[in-house]
Each structure stands twice: as structure tokens, then as C-alpha cells.
Structure 1
Amino acid sequence: MQACVGDGEKIETKPNIIYILADDLGYGELGAYGQQIIETPNIDILASEGMKFTQHYTGAPVCAPARCVLMTGQHTGHAHVRGNDEWRARGDVWNYQAMFDDPGLEGQRPIPDSIVTIAEILKSAGYKTGVVGKWGLGAPGTEGVPNQQGFDFFYGYNCQRQAHTYYPMHLWKNNERVLLNNKMVAPHSQLAEGADPDDPESYADFSLTDFAPDLMHEEALKFMEQNSDQSFFLYYASPVPHLPLQAPKRWVDHYTKKLGEEKPFTKGSYFPNQTPRATYAAMISYLDEQVGDVVKKLKELGIYENTLIIFTSDNGPTYTGGVDAAFFDSAKPFKSEYGWGKGFVHEGGIRVPMIASWANKIKPGSESHHISAFYDVLPTICDILDIPDPKNTDGISFLPALLGKPQRQHEYLYWEFPANTGQQAVRMANWKAIRKNLFEGEMDIALYDLEKDPREQDNVAAQHPEVVREMAAIMKKARTAPGTETFKMAALGDTEVEQ
């Protein structure tokens, strides 16, 4: 079987596909995207040998819905998961000891088995499928676990809350818990009373024995080795650089020397940290090092040239837990402070870096300004395999863009987010429309011209009423009411909304 693209050029079928998803990595936190402080040489090389996308978007401004959009090819107007939902009806889901004692309290609300995922498509096409890292789309024992959603292999965090420490008590391997050599230090613990914040020993509880990102990375490389003689799909959903601030000492020391003395982070969410800026930079360089390991392993196995690598992030940079997004200009050229980055549908929250590398297919050092989103990944994979898209996808294949061919464009991109006051957004050509405060019943639309105003500072809705009317119509037609009460918004006509 061969796939035809654009003018009839045939490409080899069944390339290996590795999709690396960083967690909370900002648009401006890679050297290839202008970062001046944090060193990312391996990802920068990936960009120089492949294609950098400048107008790629996540499916949502936070973890779970972004991953649901990616896996299902449906934007958040249709996706089953539209926000982070900890499924509190089960019990005390934020009690980490209780979760350890009862795995039924772990995890998030599951995606239904009836929804077709990328992994199921690839598995049916003969691929070996694996996910390593953070899942967040179905608690243990539910139909939403990776092994019920098309993945042959899973290793990592099932639960997003568990991923709030890089030294957990356990990880999951397929449907079995793997106990780690770490004591219970509940995420969001603080310094002991009376502890000296300038004494490294005060932070001993936050650097234990088994570092989960190391263990997961070993499993990712092993999965590649074990399946190098067949086509495989590896979804490498790294938890890095999501909080808490924890990184290998060698990288922290590197940035401590580079950045100099700084004030400890001791009061706030997540874990305390003596050198917060150095540790955050260390986390990203550590992730970059792992990307370099993946490429090196592909070359050692002799399969690099038949592997499509996509690197991106699930949403924009965070604003809490000791992260200094302003210092690193993490969402540059967009705003990254609270209200503009993670958790919000402004550009800093949803525009993400995306780099695609595929030897002899993608032109080295190329750049695409094609407007695309997470829900385009599924139809792109279907295009590579020359099979029909599922009927309910909202995406468009960007394979032509990867190969330098004429590319079909979206009429619009759509987001809704039932959190942080309730939000909607539409991207149509250079126009960006946003609604906020939907929980308060506000339906006003702010309109921005991203070509002239990428930081969304000048609301031009009053000058373009015809565009506002068109955006309002899209916001109405692009969605269906969610099936989960938690995600309903009364202002949009959803009924029986839980308050």
C-alpha cells in the first residue's frame, strides 16, 4: 500500500511515528523559537533538520482535554473531555495516601470505548502502539485506560494528580502498579516548620530515589528497541516541565552556575525549591537531552530515516508553583502571565511549538505558517496510511504542508473551556475571537487581529461588527452540548448545569 499526496507523489507507507508531547512548555521556551536563556540544542537540531510550525495550536489550554483532542481528532466543541475533571464523586481524590491504598481513586474521567483513537487506527493498520508518560484520560479499571484505547503498551502515570511529584510511590505498567523506591511525600507538601530555606538539607524530602522521568525514558527507548523490526507508534507524553520543580542535580547545578544566586520558592502551590529559576531551566534542558536520546537511538537502530518525529507541547506555560515565566519570556511573543498563559484561550495559553522531522521527506530547516491544531494529527496519520478519516473528526491533514505541497486550510479553529470563568475562542484567518466570563452569562466577543496584534491587546470588535457576527455564528454551530455535567455552560444553552 502506498499513499498519494498532492500531485501524485507516492510516499512509503508505515513509517514509524513518534509523537513527543511536552507538558506546559511555552511557545518561547525553545532555542528554535527564540529562547535566550534555556539551552535546547537537541530540539533545535530537530528543527534545523525538519520543519518548524509557527501557527500550531493545542486542543485546549490544560492537560486532559488537550490530550483527548489529540487522541480523538475532535475539538473541544465535540470532544468527550473538555476540561480537567478529577471525578470527585468517587471520594477523597486529592488524598494521596487514600489513592495509594485504593487505586480506584486515581485518574480522571474516562473517554468512552466507542470513540476511535489514534492508537486504535494505527493498531488496526498493523502498528505496535505504545504510550509512555502521563495519560489522564481514564482511571484504572475503566474503559479509558491506555490498553483499552488501542495501546499495546503503557508505562507511566495514569493520573494527572499523581504526576504532581516526580518521585511517586508507584507508576503503572499496562494494568499493573509498579512500586517504586520512594517514601510517601504527598504532592504540595511544604518545608518542615522552622526549616532553613537556605539549607539544601531542608529540601531532602523533595529529591528521593526513583525519578519517574528517568524510568519512563528507559521504557520509551526499550519500546523502540523491541519494535525496531516493525512499524511502531510511540506516544511519548512526557510530564516535563510541568510542576513541581524537580530536576536532575547535574542540570540544576549547570543553571545555578549560569544564573547565579536567587531567592528560594517556599510559599505556594506544589513543592518548595531552593533555586526555582535554575530548576525550571534544568527541567527543559533535561527534556531536550531525552529528545536527543530518542534521535540517537533511532539512528543506532537504523530506522531514523523511516521515522516521523513530531515534538510539541500540550498547552502554554504555567504561572504558579515557582515558575517565573516573565523571566524566561516563556510565551514570547505572546503574554504568559496569569490570564494569558496556561488555562486561558489567549495565544500564550494555546499556541504551542511544533517541530516535525522526517528524513528525506521534510525539507531541512523549513518553516510552515499553516494554521493547524491537535485535532489535525489524527487525519494526518490517516493520510500517511492512505486510509479514510473517521467521520467525526474535526481535523484536516497537514501532510501536504510537511511535504511542501499545496495545503488545504481550515475555515476556522474552535475552542471552548469550561473553567477559569468559562471561555470560547475562534481563530479564522488572522482574526481571533474570545468570549470570557461565560459562567457569569457574559456573551460579549472580543476581537483581535493577530497579524497586527499578536499579544491581543487591542479589542477591535466595535470596528468590525460583521466579523463579530460571523464569529458568534461559528461559536454556536461549532459545538454540541457535552455529555458530562461538569463541562456544561448555561450561557451556551447547556441544560442541567451543576453549580
Structure 2
Amino acid sequence: MKPKYGKFFIISLFLTLYGCGNGPENNSEKPNILFILIDDMGYGDLPTYGNTEVDAPNINRLASEGLSFSQFYVNSPICSPSRVACITGQYPSRWGITSYVHDRRANKERGMKNSLDIKAPTIAREMKKAGYYTAHIGKWHMGGGRDIADVPLITEYGFDESVTQFEGLGERYLAKFETLDLGDDPERPDLEKQSAALGRGKVHWIKRENFTKIFVDRAIEAIKNARKENKPFYINVWPDDIHTPLEPPGDLRGDSSRHARFLGVMHEMDRQLGRLFDYIREDPELSENTLIVLTSDNGPDAGVNKAGNLKGHKTQIYEGGVREPFITWHPGVIPEEKQGTVDTQTVFSAIDLLPSFSAIAGVANDRDLQVDGLDVSSAITGKTSLKRQKALFWLRPPDRPGLFGNNDPDLAIRKGDYKLLMDVD
């Protein structure tokens, strides 16, 4: 007996085979996401956040065409745990990273892991579920470097390609210093040499002043690679500017004082990021379908840059250590009346990025994925301001009780309009 197939069944089968895959028609509708995480930039370091000394016309333009936020928080006032929160959607203490990842001895003494657990959720893995091309360009600092080579490569966390600097494994760029003043970071040349000796990736030696330029070049290459594969992209661009040592190009060094060099590094970083913004802006397809997010990993280095009118700086859980500039740009999505404005109502943090980016990318809801953050995609795309109901928590890096001050509080919680700081005992 011949099977009888109804018209509805045939149509359904056709749609299943040809209409529901990861074909170019579906992928072309998914927005590209470019996530820029600047190193050690304070709340008061950008003109759009009140700085009158810094020359950053390209980031200024991004803000004027996009949407800025005044109440965005990172989840730690120091690099490694802050970055863990950014990519996992979880508090970094869940993964045993509570301060910056150092060498084996120092990590063991502080009860810390040598790297982010390979089992941790990551934004990149979530993006790949939705058919994205993924890349990490720039500083990592979640494992690898110093005397640690037996940890996962960056690509093992869900990235199709990666390139980093001395605080990560895989292909990396290391700094040749002409140096003005290594008093800013005297151990840095030795750390570069240690990284080279570890192997596990091709090494390029370049001038310190050229790092952001190279990372922008590589980001543009990654965009081209994604387009060759006809996929939307999720790309981290994480410069290690404006972290010390401060070494801008010669024409931007001013009187070579620490402050002059900081201003020079900020301007050069802005100049290079401007090339990336223009590359996207000048391509009609990219400009209509790319979300750019720009923020920083923690507050300013004391004595180098500024947290504006906020108390505290890097390593401290006062506002100046954990509250950061946050700018989004997506002309085809952010309402025109919101462009160039500041959202002063939405309170959110780095742990919210994974669920928010996943929602924007149309990642299918995974009930087994446990994150601490919330989906705030409607706020970062300018649809609405959100009143946060869920509390935010902070832990001061336990090895930093008095790096830049004495008796800093150990713990903090923000709920609604109130923030409580306290000691463990």
C-alpha cells in the first residue's frame, strides 16, 4: 500500500528543511554585536561623562548617535573577576576568581583558581547556538601567562578565533618598550618575556604604543571572516589601554608627565577605535545591523585617571571602583528620540550582559543555564528604562585591603536606591 501524504504534510516538510535552518536568510536578520571593554577607564574619563581634558571625539560621536547610561556597574573593582562576570553572567566568586589572576604561588595563597573553569558558561558559546561567528580580540586575563601554561586556550571557551596579549594563551602580541617610565608598571617587561617562554601560540613583538591599533586591525579581519562565512558576528574587542605602563605615540606624550601620558593614551585609543567605528558606520549593511557596546572593566587607577565625582577607584567597592561608563550604539534599533541621551534610571551590571546579548541574538532559552544576571536588552536598545528589583553584590578583592587606602569595606550590596557597605567581621 502506498503511503498517502497530504498537502499540509508536504508543505510542513518543505518549511522544516528549507525555512528553519541556519541559512543566510535567518542569519542576516540577527544583529552583529561588538563588545568593547576598555581597561581601567574610570567613570569620569570620557567627555560625555563630564571630562573636559580628554580628547576622545570618536567615542563622543558614538555616544551622540547612541545611548549612554549613568548606573551601570561591573561586578568587581579589579580586572580578572570583572571579566569573568562579563562573559559568564555569574558572580566571579562562583568560579574561584576573586582578584587578578597571578602566578601559581600567589593564586594558591589567595585560594584562587589559575583560570576560568572550562565548564563555565560564556557569551561566545551562547552566540554560537544562534549561528554566530565569535572572536576575542585583546586582553583576556582569565588564565594563562606568568608561569601558567596548562590552562585552556581562549578559543576553548567558544571563540572561533582569538588574539591576546601577555595575560592569555594562543596567538598573542607582546610589548617592546621604548619606555618613558616603567615606574608605572616595573615588572611588565619580565611578564612579557615569561609569556613568550610559555609557548602555546604564535608570538608577535610590537611597540607598546601600537597595541590598540593592532587589536582594531584584527577586529576588522574578524568581521571579514564572519562575512565570508555568511554569519552574524559576536566580537570582543578588549584593549589593554588605558592600563599602565602608559606609553602613547611620540606626538601625544606632551611633557611626558604621568598625566600627559594618560591623556595621550586615551586619545590614541580613541583614534584607533574610531577606525573600527568608521568601518562599521560606512558599510550600510553593518551600520544598520550592528550593536556596539562600550564600557570598562573597573574603576580608574589611583593617581592616573578619574572616577568623576564618585568616591573610590580600582580595587575599592565604593562607587568609583565599580560604576562605569556604558554606551550603546545601534542606529537601526535605538529610537531616534533616545539617541544622544543618557538613561539615568536603569540600574544594571556586567552579569546582565550574557542574558541580554542572548536575547538580542535570539538564542533559544536554555533552562539548564543558570545565570545571576537579568535580561535588560530592552533598556540597552533604548526601548524602555528598567527599575531593578534584584539586588547587586560586591566582594572587595581579598588581597587588596589597603593597596591605595586603609580599612576599605569588604562587602557591598545595592538594593533599589540604597547601597550598604560592610566588613566581614
Q: In which range does the TM-score fall when normalised by the shorter chain?
A: 0.7 to 0.9
Of the candidates 282, 288, 293, which is equivalent to residue 264 of structure 2? Answer: 282
Which residue is equivalent to 1:230?
Answer: 231
Contact 1:396 1:410 in 2 (8 A): no
User: 2:313 aligned with 1:309, yes or no?
Assistant: no
Against the structure 1 CA distance between its residues 406 and 249, is the aligned structure 2 distance closer, same or farther, given a 3 Å change threshold? closer
Which residue is equivalent to 1:195?
Answer: none
After superposing the two structures, state which structure 1 stretch, 291-300 or 308-317, moved more: 291-300
Alignment of 1:247-286 (within 5 A): 247-252=248-253, 256=254, 274-286=256-268
Length-normalised TM-score, structure 2? 0.77
Of the candidates 75, 79, 90, which is equivalent to residue 59 of structure 1? Answer: 75
Contact 1:23 1:314 in 2 (8 A): yes
Of the candidates 336, 359, 377, which is equivalent to residue 353 of structure 2? Answer: 377
User: 2:157 aligned with 1:149, yes or no?
Assistant: yes
Which residue is equivalent to 1:333?
Answer: 309
Which residue is equivalent to 2:142?
Answer: 137
Which amino acid in the other structure matches residue 268 of structure 2? Y
Which amino acid in the other structure matches residue 59 of structure 2? I
Give 1:42 deviation, angstroms. 0.8
CA distance in 1 between partners of 2:65 and 2:83 (Å): 27
CA distance in 1 between partners of 2:42 and 2:282 (Å): 31
Give 1:77 deviation, angstroms. 4.8
Which residue is equivalent to 1:43?
Answer: 59
Which amino acid in the other structure matches residue 132 of structure 1? I
**TM-superposition CA deviations, 1:377-418 (whole Å, max 9, x none):** 000012113322563211111111123236362321111132
User: 2:389 aligned with 1:410, yes or no?
Assistant: yes
Give 1:221 deviation, angstroms. 1.9
Which amino acid in the other structure matches residue 378 of structure 1? L
**TM-superposition CA deviations, 1:196-229 (whole Å, max 9, x none):** xxxxxxxxxxxx5883333222212221223234
Of the candidates 252, 276, 283, which is equivalent to residue 294 of structure 1? Answer: 276
Which residue is equivalent to 1:343?
Answer: 315
Aligned pair count reads 359
User: 2:404 aligned with 1:420, yes or no?
Assistant: no
User: 2:37 aligned with 1:21, yes or no?
Assistant: yes
After superposing the two structures, state which structure 1 stretch, 423-432 or 293-302, moved more: 293-302
CA distance in 1 between partners of 2:325 and 2:416 (Å): 19
**TM-superposition CA deviations, 1:224-244 (whole Å, max 9, x none):** 223234201110111010111
Length-normalised TM-score, structure 1? 0.66
CA distance in 2 between partners of 1:404 and 1:209 (Å): 41
Which residue is equivalent to 2:365?
Answer: 388
Against the structure 1 CA distance between its residues 79 and 90, is the aligned structure 2 distance closer, same or farther, given a 3 Å change threshold? closer
CA distance in 1 between partners of 2:78 and 2:385 (Å): 32
What SS class does the counterpart of residue 227 from structure 1 fall into? helix
CA distance in 2 between partners of 1:210 and 1:58 (Å): 27
Which amino acid in the other structure matches residue 45 of structure 2? E
Contact 1:305 1:360 in 2 (8 A): yes
CA distance in 1 between partners of 2:141 and 2:359 (Å): 27
Contact 1:138 1:158 in 2 (8 A): no
Structure 1 portions without partners, runs of 5+:
3-11, 92-107, 182-207, 262-273, 443-499
CA distance in 2 between partners of 1:156 and 1:77 (Å): 24
CA distance in 2 between partners of 1:85 and 1:141 (Å): 13
Give 1:304 deviation, angstroms. 1.5
What SS class does the counterpart of residue 375 from structure 1 fall into? helix
Q: Percent identity?
A: 28
User: 2:137 aligned with 1:112, yes or no?
Assistant: no
Contact 1:76 1:416 in 2 (8 A): no
Give 1:126 deviation, angstroms. 1.2
Give 1:430 deviation, angstroms. 1.4
User: 2:161 aligned with 1:178, yes or no?
Assistant: no
Contact 1:171 1:179 in 2 (8 A): no
Give 1:157 deviation, angstroms. 1.4
Structure 2 portions without partners, runs of 5+:
1-18, 21-27, 108-112, 176-184, 402-408
Which residue is equivalent to 1:239?
Answer: 240
Against the structure 1 CA distance between its residues 299 and 225, is the aligned structure 2 distance closer, same or farther, given a 3 Å change threshold? farther
Give 1:419 deviation, angstroms. 2.9
**TM-superposition CA deviations, 1:62-107 (whole Å, max 9, x none):** 000000001110124534422113133399xxxxxxxxxxxxxxxx
Contact 1:110 1:142 in 2 (8 A): no
Against the structure 1 CA distance between its residues 142 and 301, is the aligned structure 2 distance closer, same or farther, given a 3 Å change threshold? farther
